[in-house]
Structure 1
């Protein structure tokens, strides 16, 4: 049996490549409720069906930071599993609403990479885009990740 590969090293990343992540996640009502409780986000647009029936989208919206967290998690086996540190997140964009029972998928493009002054570590600069089950873009963000060279 071959062990799973959690993450990649600097030399594995090729600028210009796009990785289609194998993991995906359907967001259930329990996910959204627990996340709302844990983060103290009690806005009725995330927790109150009656309120949402009368609001813009007509249904409960999933908390945006839950979507962001799930998408980051989806990328871990390919992007940051061997990371020394996630250095920076930037340009987080919520591109479309996410609803209960939506399924989230993601892909990541390698934008750039460079070796640090340490020479045994490198930084990869990537952009991740998340999609729902209808292939609609729902979220995008960029980040810099410090990874070992080998």
Structure 2
């Protein structure tokens, strides 16, 4: 049976027939490489994240943080915040994680975190959103396949309140060194999954 498809460049409907055996392998988002960064660019990272009580308690226990502000509701109710605070290190980890898709998906190392500031507390139920601004970039003198990119990461609540800012400097691969392709995006071993010379599988009962 013919299969309806849509041409992404024209938006028009097309049909693939049983005689079409060519696999159309298209590259997905592969992250930014060193050449893709420009000073002054701002990336608003996708997928805000709502922080739950479970996030806070598990992270606090996992990291052996004994401050009762994160897990003792009776104690926290007697403070100026009147409730438990989300662990600040969790806010940092979550914010950095949200930025990876745009900033450091192709990084080989994080060289440092600087000027970390908690501007306001985060509470259970807050939804966090993050953005990164490129502050500087430079090529590595000792590793020609990478360059250093410094960004300022800023995190906001659903109400637009700035809760965190920090600078971080990942060491990011250059595109030529990574040599990404639709068949082998970053992180994939060679030969795994659909390949450009593959033929489309025809279901039983269809003819070519």
Length-normalised TM-score, structure 2? 0.69
Residue of structure 2 in register with 1:119 after alignment: 144
Uncovered stretches (5+) of structure 1, i.e. residues with no partner: none
Structure 1 counterpart SS, 2:54 = helix
Per-residue CA deviations over 1:62-99 (Å, capped at 9, x if unaligned) read: 00000000001000111111101111111111110000
The 8 Å contact of residues 7 and 83 in structure 1, kept in 2 or not, is answered as: no
Residues 26-77 of structure 1 deviation map (CA, whole Å, 9 limit, x = unaligned): 1100010100110111311111111111111011100000000000100011
Partner residue of 2:94? 70
Specify the alignment match of 2:71 in structure 1: 47
Choose between structure 1 and 2 for higher RCO, CA contacts under 8 A separated by at least 6 residues. 1
Query: If each structure's helix is expressed as a fraction of its own residues, which one has the higher value?
Result: 1
Count the aligned residue pairs: 150
User: Matches of 1:132 and 1:126 in 2, distance apart?
Assistant: 20
Match of 2:82 among 34, 58, 64: 58
- Give the aligned CA root-mean-square deviation in angstroms: 1.3
Q: Deviations over 1:96-119 (max 9, x none)?
A: 000011111011000010111233
2:126 to 89, 102, 122: 102
Aligned-residue offset at 1:7: 2.4
- Say if 1:6 and 1:78, in contact at 8 Å, map to a contact too: no
Q: Tell me the distance in 1 between the aligned counterparts of 2:27 and 2:139.
A: 28
Residue matched to 1:13: 37
Higher strand share: 1
Q: Is the aligned partner of 1:136 residue 2:161?
A: yes
Moved more, 39-48 or 124-133: 39-48
For residues 42 and 119 of structure 1, what CA distance do their matches in structure 2 show?
44
From 59, 66, 69, the counterpart of 1:35: 59
Whether the 8 Å contact between 1:6 and 1:76 is mirrored in structure 2 is no
User: Whose Rg is larger?
Assistant: 2
